[in-house]
């Protein structure tokens, strides 16, 4: 994540470094006629499983527009096709590829997971950096552009497929009390596209090679905004035995669950210094 290329925002890639830093992938799957639903736990494995029949594209778009207004985000008409395409292509767990990792250690207390230390291999990610008025606006607008890339606006002209989690790379001031307006939203290229990722038609989306990295991760639930992120960073830093081993101004928020759900599943990631 830092400019030295040692962290997970790349430092080497198939295009120029776009700089650092989610309506998210999960959101697009949840916008059906019946959504949001309070049944189940809101996980991406469940979202979209009720979409066995085609849903009116206009109703999907209008639903998303209504939800996005709560984040002060405008959803353009051109998002109708990507929303419909994602919804119709993600019915069941087999469609959602998880970013691979190896667990190094786990720290628990009274049976509760406090944090996990993982190793992630070198991989290609599609990234876009935004600078909107708020964090939520940056991740929403950034992800809508990534969605168009995933849903056919790429050199192959094909739907690329779901991967989880969607990452948001953020930066803070030295006191970790202020989140930078520069936010990068990142999508892991599926395994079958890692060697030859299709180039985006959007010139602001860059395919980056992120080097292998060791990551400390802590789960948390609920919304992700500037306040919750700052609180999670502070809480996690207090739990780590040696917080100084991690990069101290760059962090990652990993999203696994529909953000509209009241019990959204997330992780905060600290990256170990190289």
Query: What digits encode the pLDDT tens for the residues 98-140?
Result: 999 999 999 999 999 999 999 999 999 999 999 888 888 888 8
pLDDT value at residue 150: 92
Cα–Cα distance for residue pair 80/44, rounded to 1 Å: 20
Of 183, 25, 194, nearest in space to 95 by CA: 25
Determine what percent of the chain falls in helix, strand and coil, rounding each to the nearest 5.
25, 30, 45
Token pair 């962090």 is found at 251
**Position with higher pLDDT, 187 vs 258:** 187
Lowest mean pLDDT among 62-71, 120-129, 152-161, 223-232: 62-71
pLDDT value at residue 25: 44
Give the containing element (helix H, strand E) for 153: none
Pairing verdict, β 250-255 and 265-271: antiparallel
CB contact at 8 A, 75 and 52? no
pLDDT value at residue 8: 52
Phi, psi of 222 (to 5 degrees): 105, -170
CA-CA-CA-CA torsion for 128, 219, 246, 98, nearest 10 degrees? Answer: -50
What sign has the CA pseudo-torsion 157, 159, 160, 166?
positive
- ∠ at Cα 218 (116, 184), nearest 5°? 115
Cα–Cα distance for residue pair 177/170, rounded to 1 Å: 12
CB contact at 8 A, 208 and 17? yes
Cα–Cα distance for residue pair 61/77, rounded to 1 Å: 7
Pairing verdict, β 96-98 and 162-164: parallel
Q: What is the pLDDT of residues 234-270, one digit of tens each?
A: 999 999 988 888 988 899 999 886 544 556 789 999 9
Beta bridge partners of 221: 265
Would you kindly state where each structural domain of the chain is located, as residue ranges?
Answer: 12-271
pTM of the full structure: 0.76
Extended strands (E) in the chain:
12-13, 96-98, 102-109, 112-120, 123-131, 162-164, 166-171, 182-188, 206-210, 213-221, 250-255, 265-271
Grouping H, G, I as helix, E, B as strand and the rest as coil, residue 80 is helix
What CATH superfamily is the domain 12-271?
Regulatory factor, effector binding domain (3.20.80.10)
Cα–Cα distance for residue pair 220/209, rounded to 1 Å: 28
- pLDDT of 176 higher than 90: no
Cα–Cα distance for residue pair 191/253, rounded to 1 Å: 22
CB contact at 8 A, 185 and 126? no
Q: Would you state the structure tokens that stand for residue 62, as one six-digit string?
A: 């209008």
pLDDT value at residue 238: 92
What sign has the CA pseudo-torsion 77, 138, 165, 254?
negative
């Amino acid at each position: 994540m830092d400019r030295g290329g040692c962290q997970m925002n790349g430092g080497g890639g198939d295009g120029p470094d776009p700089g650092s830093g989610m309506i998210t992938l999960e959101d697009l799957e949840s916008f059906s006629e019946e959504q949001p639903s309070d049944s189940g736990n809101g996980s991406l494995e469940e979202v979209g499983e009720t979409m066995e029949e085609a849903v009116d594209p206009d109703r999907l778009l209008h639903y998303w527009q209504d939800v996005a207004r709560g984040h002060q985000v405008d959803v353009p008409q051109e998002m109708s096709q990507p929303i419909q395409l994602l919804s119709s292509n993600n019915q069941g767990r087999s469609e959602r590829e998880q970013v691979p990792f190896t667990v190094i250690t786990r720290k628990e207390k009274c049976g509760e997971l406090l944090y996990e230390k993982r190793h992630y291999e070198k991989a290609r990610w599609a990234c876009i950096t935004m600078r909107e008025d708020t964090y939520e606006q940056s991740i929403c607008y950034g992800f809508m552009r990534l969605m168009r890339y995933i849903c056919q606006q790429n050199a192959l002209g094909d739907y690329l497929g779901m991967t989880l989690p969607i990452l948001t790379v953020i930066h803070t001031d030295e006191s970790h009390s202020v989140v930078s307006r520069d936010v990068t939203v990142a999508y892991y290229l599926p395994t079958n596209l890692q060697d030859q990722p299709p180039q985006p038609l959007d010139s602001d989306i860059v395919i980056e090679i992120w080097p292998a990295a060791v990551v400390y991760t802590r789960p948390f639930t609920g919304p992700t905004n500037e306040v919750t992120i700052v609180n999670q960073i502070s809480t996690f830093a207090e739990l780590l035995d040696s917080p100084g081993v991690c990069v101290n101004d760059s962090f990652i928020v990993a999203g696994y669950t529909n953000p509209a759900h009241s019990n959204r599943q997330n992780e905060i990631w600290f990256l170990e210094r190289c």
